[in-house]
Structure 1
């Protein structure tokens, strides 16, 4: 099915341009190296990194009526609170060759759960962002990130100021408008499509942004919301009036731009399936089997993955011989294929905006109970249903979103290698394993859940590693 998006997107771009002409100010690019853990060196893949400061006035919002679970909210600037000045930063990663830019910009609401800015979705999908010539912009939208920068490097960041997270939604809109229209931000490149994205805590902020702010600001052409919880984040919070949002909260169904929600196994479990929504012409959800909120790729292997097969090799080897559990955790960290499904989601989102063709529909993960949520599992321990990966369909390990223990352990998921006996019961021979792997990869490519370039890399690694399996 095709959905015509372009006329509305033209209106969006014009509205954003008009708003910016009256408001935002950019300082920079700032000399020196930004403080942000990108993992890879963008120069190794033909990209350059810059940083700009955005300063302006931001407003906070209050609801016009009680906030409802359907997300169809109406909000207005808080009449009892003056606009507040802010100065934040944006980190821009763009093609070094201007001719390589494909027109798409991914704008990440950076995650601050750990006390500093983290570009989680860049970490998960940088391979596809960079090989397609897209641009990435990480926005320090929240006070925690800005205050950490000021503390860690007062020489570089001492002039930054954040008035509090009640203002974060308007700050994010102003960042979007600056990216779209101020060429100092983009190194002279002209954005044609802008996708807002964020994972976990940032996804919760985006849920509130989508429901409350996007209908009036029209700042983005689409949203990719990764690993959301059952609700959104507060619309307003201390030191201003506290305005919590309902839990569960749906994505409003009357938007005129597409929203793509991607969920790991444990995201579905923790949200208790309460935020499942049916697909529409402008709404898609993928629940990814065999994945975890914070897996081995996101936390350890992304930084080594520059297109030479290293990432695929590390993940395969981790499934067969996982690192011991982190201190305080019950299970070894998930080493599944989240990054590959996420890359396919990014590619599908880009195509959605370009052509109006939505991503493939994704089946929900199968459950045996929903109060609490318990996922159905096959004889090898992998989830049934959902958006599949070769790692769960042609398994060498049981990979899931389940872990326990102290700190962030519950986010790490688990990996349990199949025993020699299980592998011998599952496959007749090494060649049988490789043949099944190849067939699964091509099926996933055909369904839209995997990119051909990644399928080629995964098959190459599996063919090499098959020699190490205890099979004839």
Structure 2
């Protein structure tokens, strides 16, 4: 009513009224529903994925003067098919885990959001960037995208009943809301989202992704960027929201961009909800659906950055899938990081375990015995920092060469055994091992493995540990210059081989 009265009093021309109403209607029609947020009642134990819990996600928040809080996020969100069709809207209740500077003066204006993984509610993006986020004053919000266990869980649909049963036996206890409720029933009993495997399919089977994923993400971004006095980031002046989504949930963000949600859903003043997107360790379309690498409705003015480990790049090489070229308009970057495995011991979520070579009778295979767990988080943190500079300062991220292909195989350097091209961390520039993928070794592991050089090979290549150590230092300097290592992280990066290896 107030809007109508104002128009009447100003008496503008009829075309002006129509244009104003059209613009107003379009703007407000594209603003997502505002969700509500309620603090989770206190409990005697830290929440799932808490940085205060011993484990892979632990951080000393007190040292950085950060606080961690958990909230219920509730609202009504569209249920969207994998093909992008909205069928209806439905209520949901999920949870968010917030980490923020206790002193608003230490906040840098940017919130990083990340959906937790299916498996063990893992926050892979947090694990890979937490030290960087804390020392640079970011806020972090992880959130749950999950479902009640259906009769047939689409996350485990396999080619044979035996393979499906094996998957359920390995992972069934650490997925879905049932896992969360078993962990802490009182805390997670209220959670629920809409799911119907008959209506929502992806590829040839039920869609394993929650149909409300895109709407929940948009509403969360709206809530955070609105700077509400009663919001989960009250007192902080949020200026930017970045996505940092890894592993299987990265597909949610490919869908979001591909279906044009970035352009469709906006802030009330028409600003974008999301200011940059980083995803990693996911070959889009691998879990059913379209195999694309460039969103068909790629937006202008915001970066879309994908980080591949050796496993993902090997997947695309074997399947003959070409990556699109890096461009500055639209702002697209793909990084194939050599010497980066798909999963590390440091990446496991709550109650998440994986089989090792000895568990499956491969303990005597020299290609399967040694996992590589090199500090890939240093590369990821540098890339996130580069994305931040692209947003805030307009400084374009570096364009990395692709890993060299030879048809549907990769090109390996005969002298080192390692991949040629791609992003080359210091441990690849100055290697002490050959870094392999499970696609090549057939070890049957989720982890990737390496074959360390023998003492003789190290001696022939470097002469002595001191020469190797100096070469590694020089490689660190090159990585800093290329934008793949931050100077403050370089100080703590030690050579992979040790004096006793020579």
TM-score normalised by length of structure 2: 0.74
Give the Å deviation of 1:16. 9.4
2:338 counterpart of 1:289: yes
The equivalent residue for 1:339 is: 377
2:295 counterpart of 1:251: yes
Structure 1: segments with no counterpart, 5+ residues: 1-10, 68-74, 234-243, 301-322
Give the Å deviation of 1:158. 1.4
SS of aligned partner of 1:45: coil
CA contact under 8 A between 1:16 and 1:177: conserved in structure 2? no
The equivalent residue for 1:59 is: 78
SS of aligned partner of 1:19: coil
* Per-residue Cα deviation, 1:346-371 (whole angstroms, up to 9, x for no partner): 1111111111212111111112232x
The equivalent residue for 2:125 is: 121
2:96 counterpart of 1:90: yes
CA contact under 8 A between 1:248 and 1:275: conserved in structure 2? no
C-alpha separation in 2, matches of 1:43 and 1:192: 25
Give the Å deviation of 1:146. 3.9
- Distance of aligned partners of 1:396 and 1:285 in 2 relative to their CA distance in 1, 3 Å threshold: same
C-alpha separation in 1, matches of 2:414 and 2:234: 50
Which residues of 2 match residues 27-46 of structure 1 at below 5 A? 27-28=38-39, 30-32=41-43, 33-38=46-51, 39-41=57-59, 42-46=61-65
CA contact under 8 A between 1:290 and 1:337: conserved in structure 2? no
The equivalent residue for 2:387 is: 349
C-alpha separation in 1, matches of 2:28 and 2:385: 25
Give the Å deviation of 1:466. 5.1
Give the Å deviation of 1:206. 1.5
* Per-residue Cα deviation, 1:446-470 (whole angstroms, up to 9, x for no partner): 1101111111212xx339x754342
CA contact under 8 A between 1:207 and 1:232: conserved in structure 2? no
The equivalent residue for 2:142 is: 138
Q: Which of 347, 357, 367 matches 1:298?
A: 347
Give the Å deviation of 1:122. 0.6
The equivalent residue for 2:268 is: none
Structure 2: segments with no counterpart, 5+ residues: 1-22, 52-56, 148-174, 196-209, 266-271, 350-354, 363-367
Give the Å deviation of 1:215. 2.5
2:277 counterpart of 1:223: yes
Q: Which of 192, 195, 203 matches 2:242?
A: 195
Q: Which of 241, 245, 266 matches 2:311?
A: 266
Structure (1 or 2) with the larger CA radius of gyration: 2
Give the Å deviation of 1:76. 5.0
SS of aligned partner of 1:462: coil
The equivalent residue for 2:253 is: 206
Give the Å deviation of 1:135. 1.2
- Select between 42-51 and 141-150 the one with higher mean Cα deviation: 141-150
* Per-residue Cα deviation, 1:140-164 (whole angstroms, up to 9, x for no partner): 1232544432343221121221112
Which residues of 2 match residues 234-249 of structure 1 at below 5 A? 245-249=289-293
CA contact under 8 A between 1:433 and 1:466: conserved in structure 2? no
Aligned residues: 402
CA contact under 8 A between 1:334 and 1:401: conserved in structure 2? no
TM-score normalised by length of structure 1: 0.78
The equivalent residue for 1:150 is: 181
CA contact under 8 A between 1:88 and 1:162: conserved in structure 2? yes
Dislocated runs of 4+, deviation >6 Å: 14-18
CA contact under 8 A between 2:257 and 2:297: conserved in structure 1? no
CA contact under 8 A between 2:122 and 2:348: conserved in structure 1? no
C-alpha separation in 1, matches of 2:27 and 2:142: 23
The equivalent residue for 2:458 is: 423
* Per-residue Cα deviation, 1:406-432 (whole angstroms, up to 9, x for no partner): 5xx1x3111222101110111122321
The equivalent residue for 1:77 is: 86
With a CA cutoff of 8 Å and minimum separation of 6, indicate the structure with the bigger relative contact order. 1
SS of aligned partner of 2:305: strand
CA contact under 8 A between 2:345 and 2:373: conserved in structure 1? yes
The equivalent residue for 1:380 is: 416
The equivalent residue for 1:159 is: 190
RMSD: 2.8
C-alpha separation in 2, matches of 1:17 and 1:342: 37
- Distance of aligned partners of 1:275 and 1:368 in 2 relative to their CA distance in 1, 3 Å threshold: closer
Which residues of 2 match residues 448-467 of structure 1 at below 5 A? 448-458=483-493, 461-462=494-495, 467=499
The equivalent residue for 1:412 is: 447
The equivalent residue for 2:401 is: 363
C-alpha separation in 1, matches of 2:28 and 2:113: 15
C-alpha separation in 1, matches of 2:180 and 2:27: 32
SS of aligned partner of 2:62: helix
CA contact under 8 A between 1:441 and 1:450: conserved in structure 2? yes
The equivalent residue for 2:150 is: none
